[in-house]
Structure 1
Amino acid sequence: MQSNAKLKHLFNPDSIAVVGASRHPGKLGHVIMSNILRAGYKGKLFPVNPAGGEILGLEVSTSTDNLPVPPDLGIITLPREKVLTAMEDLAAANVSAICVITAGFRETGRDGFELEMAMADLARRKGITLLGPNSLGLVNTENGLDATIAQASPAKGSIAFFSQSGALCSAILDWADGENIGFSKFVSLGNKAGLSEADVLEALGDDPETKVIIGYLESVDDGEKFLRKARLVTEKKPVIMIKAGTTQSGARATSSHTGSMAGSVVASTAALRQAGIIQVHDLEALFDLARAFATQPLPEGPNLTVVTNSGGPGILAADACEGAGLHLARPAQKTLDILSEALPPFAAIYNPIDIIGDAKADRYRVTLEAVATDEFTNAIMVLLTPTASAEIEETAQAVIEVAKDCDKPIFACFMGDERIGPGRDMLLAAGIPCYGYPEPAIRAISAMHAQYSWRHRPFPVEVCFRRDKGKAERLIRKSRKIGLKELPFADAMDMAMAYELPIPETRLVRTSDQAVRAAKKLGYPVALKIVSPHIANRSDVDGVALDLHTPREVRDAWLDITTRTQRKRPDAYLAGCLVQTMGPTKAREVVVKFTQDPQFGPLISFSLAGPSAEVLKDISYRLAPLTLQDAQDIVREIKSFPLLRGARGEDPVDLAAIEDILLSMSQMASDFPDIQEAELNPILVNAEGALVTDLRLTIG
């Protein structure tokens, strides 16, 4: 793990050696040199090239052996086959950090992968901080360091950006230059042979010049480390990210781009949420939020007041509020009294506050001054449409002056293009986010309120359930020894008992006579279920018979189930049937599963049984280990939750019983990474409790 002390020489080097420096303007080694000098870097800069001579007014060293002083940072722009040797030479020169610009490593196949692993091994053995390969470089505007091969140099600001895509970095630098967005740090991770997103995230979290961290992720190499670091950072400052590779096509493109394996979409989404990271899906939203977080305080509540000179945009804002989890504040009586006296009779003094179309700057000012001190308002949005009476620049100035003495976030939405341009530019220059439509402004306010709630959430309570871990280990070892990928049902139910899951009395039987004897011993009524390692879902073969009250019903059900299964799945091995005591009456059926995600580990899911999950995908997800709050949230997050809470006069189910099962499964998933997949389906739950009627466990 890279410490922030080791990253010091990457971001704040006193000396830099550019290995592969070139006097030809089109070469990467020349672009790097030019950018470093143009940005105003004050440290020592050493171009290295066997040809010697002079580059951009600096004397060239023919090798790293004869550098005047050991460099803090070495930047390599050589062809791929020369990179490892150059790293060895820099290591011999006692370099502290290396950035490899060169591409053509793991993303190109086996030879490139092996070369990259050799580079990573060298960096680890020598204690060198390695950025890249396949990196665009890095920027630290605080000390004038622009060690990139990009054409545009970023302005100074309080937003830090990191990305795995160098080309995207280059495009964003160019776009930010046109939008007057400044950065504190800018890092292109490349293939992450050394520094990972978790290392950079940790460093940026401790950076005093950075208020907001934004990033572009394609893959995460160590999901647990990333989550651990991210949780610590989001306690201090907002982190906003785009996660690429969220479709099957995108995942394939991610692998070919960086040679990284992508995890599942739902796992990465759950990971970002549990770490307190704000996920967006396009670059426009990324920078909309970054600008808002960098310039405005967090709203301490969800209550928004909208001031507008047009009713239509006010209605759009109200609609957007409801969808974003915000509320239109009801102004305090004192505020209403001020507005009643100051505004025309036809103005709407309730929220949205419509000061009508002939409003000039003075009317905006008096309204905003009243709202700024309103005790029920947590955030303010100023809407302006360019009516014939609108004083656009004067209104922008009024907003700026009110914002100076206001401790609440203020957002502007100046709708239009050419006429509102000067006012929009004034607002942005003064640090007030200005949008062209209400919806992106509302999304930004909602995200900021979510960040406030995240920082003020209750301390997470981790729960460790009692279990017989030794017994569970023996069951898994037994199945592995005889080559089974799925635990036999009897062993699976023993595993459930080891984790104190509530299960019904069950017997595995192989004949109809055994089924009748088992039913008599358990007590009627009973259920009969087909058992086959090749049938994951019994409903596919109609392999369940419920509420059997007599021996004749049990025999008939046995014949029906086995015959039907053999006809529908002649390839399946039938191990027999289960005889179980019937579960609770008036019960809902729910499903709990977990699978092992390659990047983030155990991914737990929760849903109702049946079409709502299978067809409508009404499923919620969290990564193990679950906290008590996670277990509560995952149950309440599905759209079908009102059915569990009690709908149309029905009793609510025992939610605590479901949460206990989720926490037990989280414990099992964390205890045994060898369990590739587990499914409790169905779990019967009513007002009195829950019962796990079936459990499947697949081991790797």
Structure 2
Amino acid sequence: MDKRLENLHRALHPRAIAVVGARKVDDYSWLRNMSTFDGPVYSVNIDENEIPGIEALGITNYQRLTDIPGPVDFVVVAVPRRASPFVIQDAIDKGVAGAAMFTSGFAETAEDEGRELQEKITAMARASDIALVGPNCMGLYHPKVGIRNHIEQPAGEAGNVGFISQSGTHAINFSLYGASQGLKISKAISFGNGVVLDSPDLLEYLLQDDETTMVGMYVEGSRDDQRLFDVIKRLAPRKPLLIWRGGQTAAGSRATASHTGSPRQDGAVWASLCRQSGALEIQSLEEMVDTMKALQHLKPSGGQRLALVTLTGGPSVVSTDAFTKQGLEIPTLTEASYDKFRAFFNIVGGSYRNPVDMGMNQTPEHFTDIMRILLEDSNIDAVVNDLPLTFLRRRIERRPGYQEQLFNTLTELREHYGKPLLAVVGYSPFEKDEVDFRKALLEIGVPAFHNFERAACAYRQVSTYHRSHP
């Protein structure tokens, strides 16, 4: 492993952490972020007005990094940009493995002073092999050891999902929204301008990280496109790789230049790269999380023929449109399946052609029979259930054991059949109940999505991945 990546590993597993430049104006957030870290956390600050507030947190403050007794492996730098070279030099002298530079105002400003300071800290870090993350970034999140860059991030539990991002906000939002959708993060790294550790380096690290089995990235540009593409081609066949690219339009490209100083990327080149490598192109945070959730919980299948099961007629129509627009098929069933349906399906207002409209008065036994017929049909690769709380909520309240029976049925079907089983829980005024219902479904291994469009997009991405990597 490259020396800088070895140092990054040390920074992600530090013996001690120091925060340089914590301030009262943001409630000493960087120190509070590290409250979940199990080892020593130190402050470095020369402002006499800040020290009482730091010490009130029970944290010892020092004038310089080199004054701290004992080893420090990871440093957060949150000082004005002109002070940053002095902090980096102290970090080098202290033998620090890695530093995350929250400090901004460098090349992304297009100012001479910002460019010169960036060149200076870049040269210092490269000469010493310190793992410099940033500048202009939120840095490291490693929940297993308690390193955080936002106070709301969960900590203490190991995960398997890696994420790198040039945007600090996207990295934080992914960690928080992903956690709410059942994803557990191994490591997430916001790298901003990426002057030393760029996206190819961080992907290389996650490729070699045994704890990471799936990788997502938000990228605006790279200093070495060819090297980035080479890493992607090696990573994607071994671990699912989802790529969300910023700056796809001319206006967006102007925004990336002032955000991280990144040049515009050629969309056609990226599309070709993803096709060749088997990486998945993603268009939003929601699509990133939905696709990862589907990859995590759906049984592997490259099949693109789906059966849709709804409670009423309107959703059966719009769900068909949603999945068909994604290039998926909603085929007719085999005659054998239709013969089985004819033997019992006399529900008023229902239909069993595919999509299957079960009607509002179906029994739990009907649901089980319908699902078995669809899962055993040779024309069907996966089954989608529409479970709207608009109708189910009152049924759950009035019939003790209804939800448990439904979930037991879904669990048995999922275990018995080798086909993917997913759900849609949305279109109701009961938002809090929807969240809880989706979480409960996920706990039995059935990923549930907010609407048909998101479910269709996630399934299309996952089936594409499994077709590329059978």
Normalised to the residue count of structure 2, the TM-score between the two structures is: 0.85
Equivalents in 2 of 1:234, 1:276: separation in Å?
6
SS in 2 for 1:58: coil
Equivalents in 2 of 1:390, 1:314: separation in Å?
20
Q: Decide whether the 8 Å contact of 2:181 with 2:293 is kept in 1.
A: no
Matching residue's letter, 1:82: A
* Post-superposition offset of 1:337: 5.7
Q: Would you say 1:59 and 2:60 are equivalent positions? A: yes
Match of 1:433 in 2: 447
SS in 2 for 1:328: coil
Match of 1:365 in 2: 368
Q: Would you say 1:442 and 2:456 are equivalent positions? A: yes
Point out the more displaced range, 361-370 or 447-456: 361-370
Higher share in strand: 1
Equivalents in 2 of 1:205, 1:343: separation in Å?
51
Matching residue's letter, 1:352: P
Q: Decide whether the 8 Å contact of 1:159 with 1:213 is kept in 2.
A: yes
Matches within 5 A, 1:144-155: 144-146=146-148, 148=149, 150-154=150-154
Q: Decide whether the 8 Å contact of 1:162 with 1:189 is kept in 2.
A: yes
Equivalents in 1 of 2:261, 2:173: separation in Å?
22
SS in 2 for 1:69: coil
* Post-superposition offset of 1:262: 1.4
Query: Which residue among 184, 188, 195 is the counterpart of 1:193?
Result: 195
Matches within 5 A, 1:578-593: none
Match of 1:105 in 2: 106
Matching residue's letter, 1:113: R
* Post-superposition offset of 1:208: 3.9
Match of 2:31 in 1: 33
* Post-superposition offset of 1:85: 1.2
Query: Which residue among 350, 353, 356 is the counterpart of 1:353?
Result: 356
Point out the more displaced range, 413-422 or 66-75: 413-422
> Residues 137, 313 of structure 1: CA spacing in aligned structure 2 closer, same or farther, 3 A cutoff?
same
Percent identity over the alignment is 25
1:386-415 deviation digits (Å, cap 9, x = unpaired): 448965835355334432444332110234
* Post-superposition offset of 1:110: 2.1
Match of 2:399 in 1: none
Match of 2:6 in 1: 5
Match of 1:258 in 2: 260
* Post-superposition offset of 1:305: 2.2
Q: Decide whether the 8 Å contact of 1:25 with 1:31 is kept in 2.
A: no
Q: Would you say 1:413 and 2:414 are equivalent positions? A: no
Match of 1:45 in 2: 41
> Residues 345, 83 of structure 1: CA spacing in aligned structure 2 closer, same or farther, 3 A cutoff?
closer
Equivalents in 1 of 2:296, 2:195: separation in Å?
31
Structure 2: runs of 5+ lacking an equivalent: 397-401
> Residues 70, 425 of structure 1: CA spacing in aligned structure 2 closer, same or farther, 3 A cutoff?
closer
Query: Which residue among 402, 410, 421 is the counterpart of 1:399?
Result: 410
Matching residue's letter, 2:427: G
Match of 2:286 in 1: 284
Matches within 5 A, 1:14-25: 14-22=15-23, 24=24
Equivalents in 1 of 2:77, 2:408: separation in Å?
49
Normalised to the residue count of structure 1, the TM-score between the two structures is: 0.59
Matches within 5 A, 1:258-407: 258-328=260-330, 331=333, 338-341=340-343, 343-344=345-346, 348-385=351-388, 386-387=390-391, 393=403, 395-396=406-407, 398-407=409-418
> Residues 405, 13 of structure 1: CA spacing in aligned structure 2 closer, same or farther, 3 A cutoff?
farther
> Residues 275, 72 of structure 1: CA spacing in aligned structure 2 closer, same or farther, 3 A cutoff?
same
* Post-superposition offset of 1:191: 0.8
Q: Decide whether the 8 Å contact of 1:396 with 1:424 is kept in 2.
A: no
Q: Would you say 1:83 and 2:88 are equivalent positions? A: no
1:289-338 deviation digits (Å, cap 9, x = unpaired): 22222322331322222222334333333334433232335556765565
Q: Decide whether the 8 Å contact of 1:216 with 1:244 is kept in 2.
A: yes
* Post-superposition offset of 1:441: 1.2
* Post-superposition offset of 1:425: 4.0
Match of 1:596 in 2: none
Equivalents in 2 of 1:152, 1:176: separation in Å?
13
Q: Decide whether the 8 Å contact of 1:298 with 1:451 is kept in 2.
A: no
1:394-450 deviation digits (Å, cap 9, x = unpaired): 535533443244433211023421357253342244442223432221211111111
Q: Decide whether the 8 Å contact of 1:154 with 1:182 is kept in 2.
A: no
Q: Decide whether the 8 Å contact of 1:311 with 1:354 is kept in 2.
A: yes
SS in 2 for 1:145: coil
Matching residue's letter, 2:71: P
Matching residue's letter, 1:411: L
Equivalents in 1 of 2:330, 2:208: separation in Å?
36
Q: Decide whether the 8 Å contact of 1:330 with 1:351 is kept in 2.
A: yes
Equivalents in 2 of 1:75, 1:436: separation in Å?
37
Equivalents in 2 of 1:349, 1:256: separation in Å?
55
Higher share in helix: 2
* Post-superposition offset of 1:145: 1.7
Equivalents in 2 of 1:302, 1:408: separation in Å?
11
> Residues 76, 65 of structure 1: CA spacing in aligned structure 2 closer, same or farther, 3 A cutoff?
same
Matching residue's letter, 1:223: D
Q: Decide whether the 8 Å contact of 1:75 with 1:100 is kept in 2.
A: yes
Equivalents in 1 of 2:215, 2:418: separation in Å?
23
Equivalents in 2 of 1:65, 1:277: separation in Å?
44
Matching residue's letter, 2:455: A
Matches within 5 A, 1:560-579: none
Equivalents in 2 of 1:390, 1:232: separation in Å?
50
Equivalents in 2 of 1:113, 1:327: separation in Å?
53
1:574-597 deviation digits (Å, cap 9, x = unpaired): xxxxxxxxxxxxxxxxxxxxxxxx
Q: Decide whether the 8 Å contact of 1:166 with 1:190 is kept in 2.
A: yes
Equivalents in 2 of 1:401, 1:336: separation in Å?
23
1:125-178 deviation digits (Å, cap 9, x = unpaired): 1111110111112211122221x1x34214655433322122333455555566
Higher RCO structure, 1 or 2 (CA under 8 Å, sep 6+): 2
Equivalents in 2 of 1:400, 1:454: separation in Å?
28
Q: Decide whether the 8 Å contact of 2:140 with 2:189 is kept in 1.
A: yes
1:46-84 deviation digits (Å, cap 9, x = unpaired): 322346773621322332223222222122112111111
Matching residue's letter, 2:456: I
Match of 2:75 in 1: 74
Q: Decide whether the 8 Å contact of 1:6 with 1:129 is kept in 2.
A: yes
1:592-650 deviation digits (Å, cap 9, x = unpaired): xxxxxxxxxxxxxxxxxxxxxxxxxxxxxxxxxxxxxxxxxxxxxxxxxxxxxxxxxxx
